[in-house]
Amino acid sequence: MNHETIHPFRIEVTDEELAGLHARLDATRWPAALPGDDWDTGVPVGWLRELVRYWREEYDWRAAERELNAYPQFKTELDGQPIHFLHVRSTEADALPLLLTHGWPGSVVEFLDLIGPLTDPVAHGGEAADAFHVVIPALPGFGFSSPVTSSGWTVQRIARAWDELMGRLGYDRYAVQGGDIGAAVSPEVGRVAPERVVGVHVNGGPGPLPPLPMADEERASLSSLDQDRVARVEAFLQQEFGYIAIQSTRPQTLAYGLVDSPVGQLAWLMDKFREWTHPQQADPGDVIGRDRLLTNAMFYWLTGTAGTAGYVGYAQDQPWGVGNENSGVPTAALVFAHDVGIRRYAERENTITRWTDVDRGGHFAALEEPELLIKDVREFFRDLR
């Protein structure tokens, strides 16, 4: 077989797989609720029971499957790794190719609401000149980009694979965008192929994080907004780092529970969707919608990729953003209320030409604030085409 072949792909989950999921949901062994049963100790039992009831009784996977399969999907092999991706071409002949990279605990599902407005802006109140051809790959080890065939999938290696993918699709010049892991991969694609990448757009900030511990004089020199962001990074490292510690050191051990229990898998994902959506106290089902949250969870459950996603997403050989060269590629950051990107530090490794702070929105820009993200992407790339 030619490893450079691109094969059409459709998601086709069997009735038996869905019946197996329902049987496991029916047989869930629920833990006792801890005192208070609130979010301070993790996902509350009462809250998750209701979401699981909805998953079992009302959520329609077949509708989600039809929505996904309405878009052209493919699989190919990149650097020995099977990769699943969506490739939706605009009808506008001079559209700019745009590579979108998701993060954890997300999937290609994150970008579904962006595809129409990006590829067909006229139909969504925009201008034809802002059209994009959209390519949305699933990160190695995530969803249908599995199984993982080798170790060492750093953001640099992923970036090289993404550039190979865009070349294989016939795109000599292209744009990149991403959040979370995608915000680490996207600037790296610019470093891998600075002559081909016209611009890098990230939500959340392209890194690096501020130097910690931070001297009092340096902290005092920051704006109040950036001081707050430093404080939230510090709080994250103290209070929320546990999931990274586990996934970056023992992803295989964690996988047994998550791959075997759909409720365990759902809880592991929902913990972060609640923590990282905005406002934090809101129900993530209200912010994003229960159907989208469950479709995203299904990508992990149906493919059994809890372990491989953690392995690739967090078992990196080096900390993200350490000692990176500046590619010189124009870079934009859209920083929402939950995010902690700080321009002063981002400019050490990136050519920042657009920086936008927003007083609302959380970590999952494409899911929470798709219209604002689309607007910013259109405006940034307008002069780079």
pLDDT value for 322:
57
pLDDT in tens, 137-172: 999 999 999 999 999 999 999 999 999 999 999 999
Residue 133 DSSP class:
E
Amino acid symbol at 245: A
Q: Band the pLDDT of 321: cuts 50, 70, 90.
A: very low
Q: Which residue has the tokens 């998550």?
A: 258
pLDDT value for 1:
47
The residue extents of the domains of the chain are: 7-208+240-381
pLDDT in tens, 98-149: 999 999 999 999 999 999 999 999 999 999 999 999 999 999 999 999 999 9
pLDDT value for 319:
54
Whole-number Å distance between alpha carbons of 200 and 87 = 19
pTM over 0.85: yes
pLDDT value for 323:
78
Whether the predicted pLDDT of 368 surpasses 80 = yes
Spatial CA neighbour of 78 closest among 14, 8, 15, 139: 139
Bridge partners of residue 98, in order along the sequence: 134, 175
H or E element: which one contains 99?
strand 96-101
Mean pLDDT within 46-54: 98
pLDDT in tens, 200-234: 999 999 989 899 999 999 999 999 999 999 999 99
Helix spans in the chain (H) = 15-26, 45-57, 61-69, 112-119, 155-168, 181-192, 216-220, 224-239, 242-249, 251-260, 262-276, 284, 290-303, 306-314, 343-346, 365-368, 370-381
C-alpha separations of 121 from 100, 116, 128, 164, 308 in Å? 17, 7, 6, 27, 36
Q: Band the pLDDT of 4: cuts 50, 70, 90.
A: confident
Average pLDDT, the chain: 96
CA dihedral 362→59→30→247, nearest 10 degrees, is -40
Whole-number Å distance between alpha carbons of 198 and 379 = 14
C-alpha separations of 206 from 35, 148, 179, 229 in Å? 40, 26, 9, 14
pLDDT in tens, 249-290: 999 999 999 999 999 999 999 999 999 999 999 999 999 999
Q: Classify domain 7-208+240-381 at the CATH topology level.
A: Rossmann fold (3.40.50)
Counted residue by residue, the chain has a size of: 385
